[in-house]
Structures are given as structure tokens and as C-alpha cells.
Amino acid sequence: MTDATTVELSDVLDRLHVVALPMRVRFRGITTREVALIDGPAGWGEFGAFLEYEPAEAAHWLAAGIEAAYRPLPQTRRDRIPINATVPAVPAGDVAGVLARFPGAGTAKVKVAEPGQTLAEDVARVNAVRAVVPAVRVDANGGWSVEEAVTAAGALTADGALEYLEQPCATVPELAEVRRRVDVPIAADESIRKADDPLLVVRSGAADVAVLKVAPLGGVYTMLSIAGQIDIPIVVSSALDSAVGIGAGLIAAGCLPDLPYACGLGTGGLFVEDVAGPVTPVDGYLPAATVTPDPARLAALAAPPDRRQWWIDRVRACFPLLS
């Protein structure tokens, strides 16, 4: 069975396509999402580590892309996956337009704690979402201190419940303290995908929900291995992936024995254009299936030559770090 350690670098580079996907709104501080895609013998893989990530961290994302390209992915237990709408840190007045791109979604994840914004703006955005979607969760991306998180939890639940509060603070001890002090369930994301020990947050009793992402964890098989060692509910999310990466996430979610929460795999709606035609959710669900890019879209969205070379150099830097 092929894995990243038996693949030749030259073959990966020969199969590489680099695309630049325009975004509808600013997300994670960017308006264009660059990713490298690998047209492999087993399917398409995606290497989309964010630009600021150093090779040691980005290598996990490369391993995930190589896995999907060279190794057949596992069979799923279900053929469709419930997804949440994703609402960036937009003004409250823009919320309805964002949610319109997620037909049938019964859950929405709302970005909060955006640098330069206030808690009042977060509350207004969350309440605007509540007016449309019954279940709401928020994601702070580790942006608060413990005291700020406790205050925010109170303000954000004053007008309704939250399904959970995702990564309110950056560290595991801070998550544990917030969890002791608030009634809102705490979800961990960065404390899993950026950790040397992704299980530490669970062993420490610092989270009620584990958010797992295929690419940062090194691939579908690694994510499923970690999931098998976790005894709290799991939500599979994307890392602002293209349609190719979303497909891998949907397969991973489809393999889990239980899926009590909607997954964060509907982020394709954040792109103006993607490498495959849009798949519209049906009753809030997406099919658990991989994606093959449209050749015409690959050509139209191809990154400029200098950016393609940047990604080639990045693959070269990360490849020796694969384990």
C-alpha cells in the first residue's frame, strides 16, 4: 500500500497543479486562497498549508495531500454528511447573505474574537444568525484570554444557547479553566491540530468536543486513528480547503462510527470559484464523496508562474520532513 514514504518527490512535482481561489469575503485575513493539488494514481490530493506555516508544520498537510493522491481512501459508513454554515466575521447586516449560500443548514458556526472587532459586534453577528438558524456555535480561534472568554460566554448566551464555544483560548490549561467557569461546552481545534500531542487536550479534561481536520493532522487515516482514541464527540472540519480537500474531509466524516454534530465541511461557499462545480447541500447535507477537479477550472484558476514556483519550492522543503 502506497504512503508518503514510498513516493518519489519528482513524481509529486510532475503531478502538481497550483491554483488561486478568489474568496467572497475576507477569511483568516486573506481574500485569495492558494493551494497545490496533486493528480495522483489513486485520486486527487490537496496541499494547502497556510502561507505563514513553516515546513515542520506544513509537512503534515503535504502528507495528507500525498495520501489522498497515492493511497485509496477507506470505505465510508454513511453516504451523506450534515454540515454547518460558516459565517465569517462580517457585519450583522451581511449575515443573511452569507447564510443563503448554505441552504437547509440547521447549524451555523460564527467567527468571533476577530482582531479589531468588539464583543458587541460578535453578539450582534451571533444574534443575526440566531434569527435564521436554530443551532449556533462560535469559534474564537484562541483569540481570548480566560477572563475575556468567560465574559464573552456570558454575553453570547444572553439571548440564546450556544452549541459550543470553539477554541476560546490558545492553551490547554486556559481551555480547562474556561471549561470550569462557564456552562457552555468547549470545543478544541488548534489545541489538537497544532499540538505535538493531539490527545493532550482530551486527557486534560479541557474540552467537551474535538474538532478534527484532515490536512493538519496528516491525512484521513491519521485523523481516524486519532478519532479512535478520543472519547468525546467529534466534529470534522475543513481548513479552508478547496473542493478536493473538502472531499477528503467528507470521506473521513463518513468513516466515523458516530457523528452527533454537523461538520464544518461547507466552506466551499466562501469561494467565488473552486476547482470543481459547486455541490449544493440538500437538506443541510453533502455527499460523502471525493472530488475530481474540472480541467477547465484548473486552467482558469492556475496561479501565476512565480506563485507556482513558490509552491514547488515549498513541496521540496517539506518533503524530507515526511514520516
CA distance linking residue 70 with residue 125, whole number of Å: 42
Which domains, ranges and CATH numbers included, belong to the chain? 9-73+296-321 (3.30.390.10), 80-293 (3.20.20.120)
State the pLDDT at residue 5: 63
Confidence class for position 3, pLDDT limits 50, 70, 90: low
Q: Which of 71, 213, 308, 314 is catalytic?
A: 213
Confidence (pTM): 0.93
At 182-217, the pLDDT tens digits run 999 999 999 998 888 999 999 999 999 999 999 999
Burial 216-229 (b: 16+ CB within 10 A, else e): bbbbbbbbbebbee
Instruction: Convert the pLDDT of each residue in 253-298 to its tens digit.
Output: 999 999 999 999 998 888 999 999 988 888 999 999 999 999 999 9
Pairing of β 30-39 and β 16-27: antiparallel
189 appears as a binding residue in the annotation = yes
Catalytic residue among 111, 130, 137, 314: 111
Which one, of 71, 46, 73, lies nearest residue 58 by Cα? 46
Residue 39 has pLDDT above 50, yes or no: yes
194 is catalytic: no
How confident is the model over 112-171, as pLDDT tens digits? 999 999 999 999 999 999 999 999 999 999 999 999 999 999 999 999 999 999 999 999
